[in-house]
Amino acid sequence: MLDQTNDFKWKIFKNDIRCFAIVNIDVSPNLSGRNEIKENYSGKGFYSQGYIEEVPEFGYQSWKLAAIKGLEFAFSLVDTNWTVQINKIEGRAVTDTNPTVVGYTIMMSFFDKIGFQLDIEQIGIFEDFVSKSWAKPYKELIPDFLNLTFTEYK
């Protein structure tokens, strides 16, 4: 059974855009001198309009890829090595959650777990970047947090 007290929730309403995601990760030091990401998804995915979707083992590839991008960027900001196990990603596709929201939420969850704090200016820059990921017409965009750019998910 997954420990829901380990859930990290991020939400914001900015520039008339709602963003929301929940992630659950376990983080431990990695003594091998490298960072490692393990994925352990077991959700149902979409099952009914209006309900929160949990990433299943198969599918939701854009969310999974964005989560990895968020963690890789986070790893670049710290001098230590970590093993991160992703246990759960939840959100509401197209309405409140997109790949960039997932990537940012998992990045912030990782920072929370290791006690790393971005400064207020950096947080503002990233939150503006997340808001830009909702540009119309809607496209699934994979974030590059280092360069603050997107590539379209194919």
- Residue range 82-119, pLDDT digits in tens: 999 999 999 999 889 999 999 999 999 999 999 999 99
Residue 113: how many CA atoms within 13 Å on its side-chain side? 27
Closest CA to 90 of 1, 25, 13: 25
pLDDT per residue over 112-139, tens digit each? Answer: 999 999 999 999 999 999 999 998 888 8
Domains identified in the chain and CATH numbers: 7-152 (3.30.230.10)
* 18 neighbors 98 (Cβ within 8 angstroms): no
pTM: 0.95
Q: How far are the Cα atoms of 42, 81, 82 from residue 97, in angstroms, in the given order?
A: 18, 29, 26
